[in-house]
Structure 1
Amino acid sequence: MLQTQVAHVRHVPLHHQQISIPPTPLHSTAHQHQPRTTISSVGLAAGRWRRKQQQHPERIQERAMETKEAAAAEQLEQEQEREQWRGAVEAALPSTPASAAWPHIASFCALHRYLPGIDVCELAAGDDGRPGCVRYVASLAPAPAAGGAGREVASWAREELLEIDGGARRLAYAVVGSSMGFGRYVASMAVVADEDESAAAGCRLVWAFECDPVQGWSLDGLLGYLDGGVKAIAARIEEAEAAAGAPAGGDVVATA
């Protein structure tokens, strides 16, 4: 009897057998556990971040201030680049050839001889006339009343010679310190020969500059000051050349 039943079971076709698969619960352990783990991890991370903020609020404030200061400095630099002052002034020397005018300009520490208002011009560092040397220029206050001490310095500047080119008759310098509110200031002076190639032809003195806006000045005011200065320098060079070419004692040499 047992053998008959077993044989019967073996000959039942597979498609006639009923296989029941237990349904998977909608809320199985796997589906329930994963979201809870993710939410728990995010919550822990957020909690740690909040605790760090509470433990180091001063550091967070310092970083915020550093970021703010860096942004402000970058903005200031961009504004200064946009506001750079540039200009040039010039004066004619109709009686002085360029070759004769250039030695006066090339004397870097002799500015007080040519520019009115400059009372002192002396070598402060380096070798006079060589790039890298520094001159000290100053304007003195009016003389005090009788019995007072010597004249005091009203304004001053230190200027470094950047380059000098005798062939091009040009020099460039920069203000490296001053009492007049100058920041970055680079200027050049050049002696330009007139187009007339004759030996008696005159020349022009060109004073160009590029600088940061100067405290207490306007661009027009600075241009006006330099324009008056370059004309005064040209006039004094002309006077010096005329005096050098005049006969001793001022006598006029008669010609046949």
Structure 2
Amino acid sequence: MAAQEESKWEGKATAELKGAKAQKVWETLVEDFCAAHKWLPGIDTCHLVEGAKGEVGAVRYVGSTVPASEEGGEAKVNWCRERLVKVDHGGRSLSYQILDSNVGMKEYVATLTVLAPAAAAAASSDGGDELGCQIEWSYVSDPIVGMTREGFSGYVSFSLQAMAEKMDKELQSAA
């Protein structure tokens, strides 16, 4: 059991956007790297604390307020500091890692990739400009204090679905 607890957690979730173009979704992810609060449920604040927005080395602060419990517990802020470690514009992919946090996360690296529709990507050198795409969120993490592997996988999947819905709606209305 101890060996299983020490092993890395790896997972992947995918969400579909029906009305947004892959390139626009990609540009939004990179430009809004420090705006996770705009896309992810439960995130109250996200801002740049070091480096240049959307460039490798940028560090963002991400925070969420946890309300006071009915049992008399005080409200608290859960937070992470995350560094953008890779940006691949051609592959529409970015990776970030957690530097430190108060939410039980130690080693964690996530990669977000925007995938164009297969038919459009095959027919066009720029990956296609048809509506619709997918976002894939993959991760490798040490076990997270207070969570199960399945619980964390569900959290990633739920968060990505919510992000895709918000992004799809906003990018369609901006078009």
Q: Would you call these one fold, judging by a TM-score over 0.5? A: yes
Structure 2: which 5+ residue stretches go unaligned?
Answer: 69-73, 121-127
Cα distance in 2, alignment partners of residues 162 and 217 from structure 1 = 25
> In structure 2, what is the equivalent of residue 119 of structure 1?
44
CA contact (8 A) 2:67 2:76 kept: no
CA distance in 2, matches of 1:224, 1:141: 19
1:105 and 2:29 matched: yes
| Counterparts of residues 237-252 of structure 1 (less than 5 Å) | 237-245=167-175
Q: Which whole-Å CA distance do the structure 2 matches of 1:160 and 1:135 have between them?
A: 6
Structure with greater strand percent? 2
Q: Structure 1: which 4+ aligned runs deviate by more than 6 Å?
A: none
Aligned residue for 1:168, secondary structure, equals: coil
Alignment partner for residue 131 of structure 1, among 37, 40, 56? 56
Q: 2:4, 2:84 → 1: CA distance?
A: 24
Amino acid at match of 1:117: G
Residue 50 of structure 1 aligns with which residue?
Answer: none
User: Cα offset for 1:124?
Assistant: 1.2
RMSD: 2.2
Change (3 A) 1:199 1:133: closer
Larger Rg, first or second structure (1 or 2): 1
* Amino acid paired to 2:43: I
Q: Counterparts in 2 of 1:85-96, with a 5 A limit? A: 85-96=9-20
Q: Alignment partner for residue 88 of structure 2, among 165, 168, 172?
A: 165
1:142 Cα deviation from its structure 2 partner: 3.6
SS of the equivalent of 2:53 reads: coil
Q: TM-score, normalised by structure 2?
A: 0.85
SS in 1 for 2:87: strand
Distance (whole Å) between structure 2 residues aligned to residue 100 and residue 128 of structure 1: 17
* TM-score calculated relative to the size of structure 1: 0.59
How many residue pairs match? The answer is 162
Tell me by how many angstroms 1:82 deviates: 6.3
Give the whole-Å Cα distance in 2 for the aligned partners of 1:189 and 1:88: 10
- Structure scoring higher RCO (CA < 8 A, sep ≥ 6) equals 2
**CA distance in 2: counterparts of 1:163 and 1:238, whole angstroms:** 24
Structure 1 letter corresponding to 2:144: V
Counterpart secondary structure, 1:196: helix
Contact 1:96–1:202, Cα closer than 8 Å, also in 2: yes
Shift of 1:80: 7.5
Structure with the higher helix share, 1 or 2: 1
Look up the match of 2:130.
200
For residue 196 of structure 1, report the CA deviation from its aligned partner.
2.4
Q: Deviations over 1:186-213 (max 9, x none)?
A: 1110101111216334100000000111
Specify the SS of the correspondent of 1:108.
coil
**Which of residues 98, 109, 113 in structure 2 aligns to 1:186?**
109
Between the aligned residues of both structures, percent identity stands at 35
1:217 matched residue in structure 2 = 147
